[in-house]
Each structure stands twice: as C-alpha cells, then as structure tokens.
Amino acid sequence: MPTIRVGLVSTSDRASAGTYQDEGIPALKSWLESAVRNPLVYEERLIPDEQPLIEQTLMDLVDIAGCDLVLTTGGTGPAPRDVTPDATLAVADREMPGFGEQMRQISLHFVPTAILSRQVGVIRGKALILNLPGRPRAIAETLGGLRDKDTGSVIAHGIFAAVPYCLDLIGAGCIETRPEVCAAFRPKPATH
C-alpha cells in the first residue's frame, strides 16, 4: 500500500499570529487517520490569509513537496480577508465544482449561511486541492457525510468518498479507506 503525501494548510490571521490555537490541522489529521488505511506523510502549514502566500504554499506543496492531496481549512467565507478559494483557483489547472457543491449541501443541513461558503476543489498537476470549513465538527461532517442517527441511512454523502477515485483518475497515489468510516466509491472496473 503506497504512502500518501498530504498537504494540510490552515489559513488564519489570528492562529498564525499565535492569538489562538489552530484547530483545523489537528481535526484534518484526526479524521484522515481514522479513515485512511495507507501510511500518511503530512506537510503542515499554518499561514495568514494572504492570497500570494496561500498561492505559493499550494504550489510548493504540489510542485515541490509532491503532495497527492492538499486540504485547506479556513478563509472560505465572503469577508474581504477570506481569500483561500481565490488563491486555490489561481493555481488550478482544472476546477472540480462538485466538491464545493457537496460541501455546501452538507453544511446546509446545519446552518442557512452555508450558501455563503466559497469552498472549491481543484486539480493541479497530479494533485487534488480541497478547501474545507474551519471548524473541527464541520470538517468531519464534510469529509465523512451525514447519517440518520436512528436508521444509519445516508442523509448526505461526504466528499471523501469520491477522493480516492479522483486521485486514481489524475495519476496521484492510490488511497484505500476504512469502509466503516468512509467507503470510497470506485466503479467496478477500477476496483483494486
């Protein structure tokens, strides 16, 4: 099973200045370690909401560090300092709009202001870059999806179920998940 290199980027003026503890990167790591069977190597970055710095960080993680997957947290709202989606789109080869659409759909189950989110998913080279929410609970719900507490039936699929097949298609590392946490979907001919 291949080692997967994952870039984790938290964009926050206050957390990067030490005003408060970043919760985004620990939440991302915790969820990934529960869901992914592969060995994971992390490239972590805690940076302020500065578009040129975010762009450079994303390019470095993909082009130099060789990350297969880059997950960002924070900076996706409509406020003037929320520039993570702008930076992500600026370094993209191709946009993957379904990821942003599904992230907003999941969040709409909890807050009507989810429509204000500008989260995006893009491909750069052979890497997938996804902008996630900033709160730990929202990160887990977005990645893993929502289930009915009584029946266990799926209310909304999490975005991570599509990530392994997307990485297969773009030539990145092959991710295997723990189905009890997140059942990756691959069409039958693509199953490993």
Q: With cut-offs at 50, 70 and 90, classify the pLDDT of residue 118.
A: very high
Segments forming the whole domain that contains residue 109: 4-190
pLDDT of residue 69: 98
Are the beta carbons of 117 and 76 closer than 8 angstroms?
Answer: yes
pLDDT of residue 190: 55
**Over the chain, what is the mean pLDDT?**
93
Q: With cut-offs at 50, 70 and 90, classify the pLDDT of residue 116.
A: very high
Please report, for the domain that includes residue 22, its CATH number: 3.40.980.10
Q: How many domains does the chain have?
A: 1
Render pLDDT for 41-88 as a digit per residue (tens, 0 to 9).
999 999 999 999 999 999 999 999 999 999 999 999 999 999 999 999
Render pLDDT for 142-171 as a digit per residue (tens, 0 to 9).
999 988 888 888 888 899 999 999 999 999
Q: What is the pTM of this model?
A: 0.94
Burial track 2-37 (b if 16+ CB lie within 10 A, e otherwise): eebbbbbbbbbeebbeeeeebbbbebbbebbeebbe
Closest among 67, 53, 51 to 5, alpha carbons compared? 67
Q: Is the pLDDT of residue 94 over 80?
A: yes
- pLDDT mean over 33-39: 97
- State the residue for tokens 């990821």: 99
pLDDT of residue 192: 56
pLDDT of residue 143: 96
